[in-house]
Amino acid sequence: MSDITFRYSLVNNGFDSQPVSLSDKREIPGEIDILVIADVREPLRENELAVIKRYIDNGGNVLIAGDVGRQAQMNPVTEMLGVRFMEGVLANNMEEGAQNLIYNRVTKAAADSSRVYRGFAHPRAQITMLGAVGLEYETDRGFNVLPILTSDSTKSWLETETIDFAAEKAVLNPEKGEEMKPHVTMLQLTRTVGDRKQRIVVSGDGDFCSNSELIRSRGGMSSRNFELTMELFRQLSDEAYPVSTPRKPSADNEYHLNVERIPLIRIAYVGMYPMIFLVLGIVIL
C-alpha cells in the first residue's frame, strides 16, 4: 500500500509513513495520526508498552494487526483495550485451497455502519485472510465495540493442534474444544476522548492488506481486501483521506404511473407516434 507506482496506494492518496522506535521514546511523535502495530515478533518491554498506552489514553488512532504465533507478543498491547488474540489458528474444511485460508463475512452491524462495508455483503465478494486468529473482547472497557468481520459459521473452526498445514490435514476435534462456529477476525473500538472520536481497529491477521491479498481472486470469489483497507484508513484518518466525493443519486431515478393513465399511454405509443413517424416518412421521401 506504500508503492508509489500503484495509483491507488495509500501514499498516493494523502498518507505518508515513517517507522517509530518505542525503545528510545517517551511519547509517540505528535505528527503521527495513525499508529500501526503489526506482527510483533519480540515481547515488548514495559517502557514500550507504556508509550503505547499513553498514546491510546490521549486518544490516538491505532491499527493493530496480529498473526498466527504472535499472540503472546501482541496480547499485552490489546489486553489494555479489552481485546485478546485467541490461541490457535482458524481453519476450514473446504475441499479446495489451503486449510488456513479464511473467507470472512462482514457483520450486519458493520454493513449498517458503512456504505463500503455494505458492499461486502455479496456472497461472492469476501475478505480473505491466509493464517488468521480469532479475537475475544470485552464490552465494559469504555469502548463501543463493532465487530467488522467474522469467519464462516459452517466451514471454519479454531484449530489448536495442527501447525504445519502444508504437511498435515487439520481435522475438527471436539474433544479439544474445537467447534464449528464463527469467530470475530476484525473489530473496531471507538470512544470520545476530549472533542474527537478515537478509532482503534484490531485484526486477527496482519497480511490481509499485503500486496498478494489486495486484489486476488480465488475460485471465482473476488477479494475485497483493497476496498476494506482503504475504508479502514479513511476512518482512522477521521474520514479525511482518501478524499471521497461520491455523486448524489440521479433525481430522475423513479417514475409514478397509475392504472388510469395506461390506456392513454398505449394509444400514444401504439397509435399516435407510429402515425406521426409514418406521415413524416412519406413527406420526407
Q: Which of 241, 192, 202, 236 is nearest to 59 (CA)?
A: 192
The larger pLDDT score, comparing residue 276 to residue 97, is at 276
Q: Residue 164: helix, strand or coil by DSSP?
A: coil
- Domain map of the chain by residue range? 10-236, 257-285
Per-residue pLDDT, 220:
62
Q: Is 10-236 in CATH node 3.40.50?
A: yes
Per-residue pLDDT band for 219 (boundaries 50, 70, 90) equals low
Longest dimension (CA), the chain: 93
Question: Contact at 8 Å (CB) between 211 and 178?
Answer: no
Say if residue 218's pLDDT is above 60. Answer: yes
Question: Contact at 8 Å (CB) between 188 and 164?
Answer: no
Q: Give the Cβ contact number of residue 222 at 10 Å.
A: 14
The mean per-residue pLDDT over the stretch 5-32 comes to 77
Per-residue pLDDT, 141:
93
The larger pLDDT score, comparing residue 223 to residue 182, is at 182
Q: How far is CA 183 from CA 62, 104, 147, 222, 249, in A?
A: 22, 9, 10, 21, 36
The larger pLDDT score, comparing residue 20 to residue 147, is at 147
pLDDT digits (tens, 9 = 90+) for 27-67: 888 888 999 999 899 999 999 999 999 999 999 999 999 99
The mean per-residue pLDDT over the stretch 116-137 comes to 86
Q: Give the Cβ contact number of residue 40 at 10 Å.
A: 20
